């Protein structure tokens, strides 16, 4: 039986913004006032991405509009998101975690799983080290985290959610009945609004209820796959390993983002796709890899609807930002239903360390590749490779925001 930590930065976007403002000479810690990170504070459009404890006490919720939040909290101070800065703080947290284990899975920009199993002999008891790790992040980086400690990923993640902020919680199998089962069913990871409604309608109101009713009923309510997952998670069952970044990169590389406001036009979509292409291309080049199958996904602004998208197998694997951007624009145009979307992503599978492939008779014959989005199989141009190499070099020396791309 192993030991897994789940590390979750508290109100990450707001905390990281607060730390950065203080480091830049600011006199006020925005974590101590009614504050939030929102889409576009100047135009008052967009949604709340993170909020302070004070704003939370006023009823402000992540995901609601600025107007809704301001009605609850009239003196709410709003600050714009800065994803480049968030990535730097995420990386800084990751570097601290590496002191205790090389087996770290980045679950999201502000969450990581850490396999502590083999590290216990080196560093000591898990709970003692979890407290030490929490305090090191707080003292060295200036923000707080929650850490859940257990024998698998689902229990560690649920443990980290028990009480916030700046806490360490254990959730071992013998603690499930006391700590996990009394929680509302909507608190269980993988249970969204739609599933919660179905479960509550069937009288399943707590996680303990889901654990007791058994798999057949959950499957009948949610389907075989989802019902089975809910049954396992409610009982603290999860056999998935902690997959370190290198292990995952061999299978696929991608990035997605939830936008501050609805994307309603192709021009707005192209801006997001360029940003994502830059991120994905940088990751591919960092690992010396090329992508063979590219996918573009989008989720409607109505989050109750399923995400959808399109994918294409390329004749020549690519890693340049320009080629990724061109292919992703073509795929978006093929898949988009014209409805407002809020989340977009670009993902590569069939990753290799070679860009060798079969040249397409049709993909590279356009007079103006930019007009045709390069076409499948156009590959990376020498000019794009040289530009990317220069940009990567500058960013490595001066930070991710040293150079930004314009269309």
Instruction: Catalogue the active-site residues.
Output: 111
Q: Which two tokens stand for residue 267?
A: 């021009």
Give the C-alpha distances (Å, rounded to integers) separating 281 from 11, 254, 356, 383. 28, 9, 17, 15
d(CA 355, CA 314): 11
The β-bridge relationship of strands 45-51 and 4-9 is unpaired
Among candidate residues 163, 165, 166, 141, the one with its CA nearest the CA of residue 18: 141
Give the C-alpha distances (Å, rounded to integers) separating 167 from 32, 91, 139, 303, 371. 18, 21, 14, 31, 53
- Full DSSP string of 281-317: HHHHHHTT-EEEEEEEEEEESSTTSPPEEEEEEEEEE
Find where tokens 């898949």 sit: 335
The β-bridge relationship of strands 111-115 and 252-263 is unpaired
Residues 6 or more apart whose Cβ sits within 8 Å of residue 79: 14, 17, 30, 35, 36, 37, 38, 41
Strand order in the sheet with 104-108: 104-108, 111-115, 4-9, 145-150, 168-170
d(CA 206, CA 180): 9
Q: Is the peptide bond before 359 cis (omega within 30 degrees of 0)?
A: no
């Amino acid at each position: 039986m192993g030991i897994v930590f789940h590390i979750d930065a508290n109100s990450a976007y707001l905390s990281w913004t607060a730390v950065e403002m203080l480091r830049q000479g600011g006199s006020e810690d925005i974590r101590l006032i009614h504050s939030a990170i929102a889409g576009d504070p100047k135009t008052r459009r967009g949604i709340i991405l993170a909020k302070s404890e004070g704003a939370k006490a006023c009823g402000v919720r992540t995901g609601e509009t600025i107007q809704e939040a301001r009605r609850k909290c009239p003196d709410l101070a709003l600050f714009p998101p800065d994803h480049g800065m968030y990535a730097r703080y995420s990386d800084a947290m990751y570097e601290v975690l590496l002191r205790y284990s090389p087996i770290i899975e980045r679950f999201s920009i502000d969450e990581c799983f850490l396999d502590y199993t083999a590290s216990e002999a080196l560093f000591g008891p898990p709970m003692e080290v979890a407290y030490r790790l929490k305090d090191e992040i707080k003292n060295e980086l200036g923000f707080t985290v929650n850490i859940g400690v257990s024998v698998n990923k689902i229990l560690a993640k649920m443990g980290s959610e028990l009480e916030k902020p700046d806490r360490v919680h254990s959730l071992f199998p013998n603690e499930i009945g006391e700590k996990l089962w009394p929680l509302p069913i909507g608190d269980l990871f993988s249970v969204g609004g739609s599933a919660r409604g179905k479960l509550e309608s069937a009288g399943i109101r707590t996680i303990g209820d889901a654990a007791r009713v058994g798999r057949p009923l959950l499957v009948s309510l949610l389907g075989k796959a989802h019902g089975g997952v809910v049954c396992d998670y409610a009982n603290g069952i999860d056999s998935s390993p902690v997959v370190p970044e290198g292990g995952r990169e061999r299978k696929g590389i991608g990035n997605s983002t939830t936008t501050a406001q609805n994307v309603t036009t192709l021009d707005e979509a192209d801006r997001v796709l360029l940003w994502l292409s830059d991120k994905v291309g940088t990751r591919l080049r960092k690992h010396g890899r090329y992508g063979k199958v590219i996918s573009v996904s989008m989720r409607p602004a109505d989050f109750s609807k399923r995400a959808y998208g399109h994918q294409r197998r390329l004749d020549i694997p690519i890693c340049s930002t320009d080629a990724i951007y061109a292919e992703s624009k073509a795929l978006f145009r093929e898949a988009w239903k014209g409805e407002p979307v809020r989340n977009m992503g670009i993902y590569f599978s069939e990753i290799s360390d070679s860009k060798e492939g079969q040249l397409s008779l049709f993909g590279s014959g356009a007079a103006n590749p930019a007009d045709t989005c390069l076409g499948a199989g156009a590959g990376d141009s020498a000019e794009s490779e040289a530009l990317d190499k220069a940009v990567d070099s500058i960013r490595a020396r001066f930070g991710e925001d040293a150079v930004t791309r314009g269309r």
